[in-house]
């Protein structure tokens, strides 16, 4: 089911050990959130961060309001999530509205835009996945190496605190 989710920072820290382009999710005001599932490839559901990045790029899906890009689904940084885990928590727009109505309204708009444009969003996600898995593509360097997170996704152990791991990115 497509929705907006917060993602467990521990899982992100785990993935970052293997793929340095996985984005951070902890920020001072509002943590980054993800949308998905956008794709199911090799048995993995893929989720992509939404950013208030407002430049048009071939590896992102722009969210447009009144002919202006207000945010983007950063498909170049999408990542797989293991099945049957609790690394995702669905965002509750009503709960967010209790503390920040403007932010909740923005999230509602972004969500509605993604739903209305789901076919194009999923087509673009598939194209970007193909870019990230083709080392000869001119834009490959802008994407996560999607194969790396896939190869370690099922090995995630939520009982380990990966924020204290000093392991560097692996090939």
User: pLDDT, tens digit, for every residue of 58-79?
Assistant: 999 999 999 999 999 999 999 9
Whether 85 is covered by a domain: the verdict is yes
Whether 168 is covered by a domain: the verdict is no
Say which CATH number the domain at 87 has: 3.10.129.130
Whether 148 is covered by a domain: the verdict is yes
Q: Measured between alpha carbons, how far apart are the two ends of the chain, in Å?
A: 32
Cα–Cα dist 18/1, whole Å = 27
Cα–Cα dist 78/124, whole Å = 12
User: pLDDT value at position 28?
Assistant: 65
User: pLDDT value at position 105?
Assistant: 97
User: pLDDT value at position 127?
Assistant: 96
Whether 45 is covered by a domain: the verdict is yes
| % the chain with pLDDT above 70 | 95
Whether 78 is covered by a domain: the verdict is yes
Whether 171 is covered by a domain: the verdict is no
Whether 76 is covered by a domain: the verdict is yes
Whether 170 is covered by a domain: the verdict is no
Mean pLDDT over 140-154 rounds to: 94
Q: Are 144 and 59 in contact (CB under 8 A)?
A: no
Tell me which residue range forms the domain holding 129: 3-161
Cα–Cα dist 74/61, whole Å = 7
Q: What total number of domains does the chain contain?
A: 1
Mean pLDDT over 118-145 rounds to: 95
User: Does the structure show a pLDDT above 60 at 171?
Assistant: no
User: pLDDT value at position 167?
Assistant: 46
């Amino acid at each position: 089911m497509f929705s907006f989710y917060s993602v467990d920072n521990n899982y992100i820290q785990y993935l970052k050990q293997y793929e340095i382009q996985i984005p951070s999710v902890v920020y001072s005001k509002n943590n980054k959130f993800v949308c998905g599932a956008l794709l199911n490839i090799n048995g993995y559901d893929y989720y992509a961060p939404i950013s208030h990045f407002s430049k048009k790029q071939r590896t992102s899906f722009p969210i447009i309001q009144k002919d202006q890009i207000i945010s983007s689904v950063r498909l170049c940084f999408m990542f797989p999530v293991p099945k049957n885990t609790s690394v995702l928590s669905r965002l509750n727009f009503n709960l967010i509205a209790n503390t920040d109505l403007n932010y909740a309204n923005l999230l509602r708009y972004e969500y509605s835009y993604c739903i209305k444009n789901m076919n194009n969003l999923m087509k673009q996600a598939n194209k970007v996945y193909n870019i990230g898995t083709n080392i000869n593509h001119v834009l490959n360097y802008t994407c996560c190496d999607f194969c790396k997170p896939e190869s370690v996704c099922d090995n995630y152990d939520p009982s380990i605190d990966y924020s204290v791991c000093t392991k560097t990115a692996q090939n």
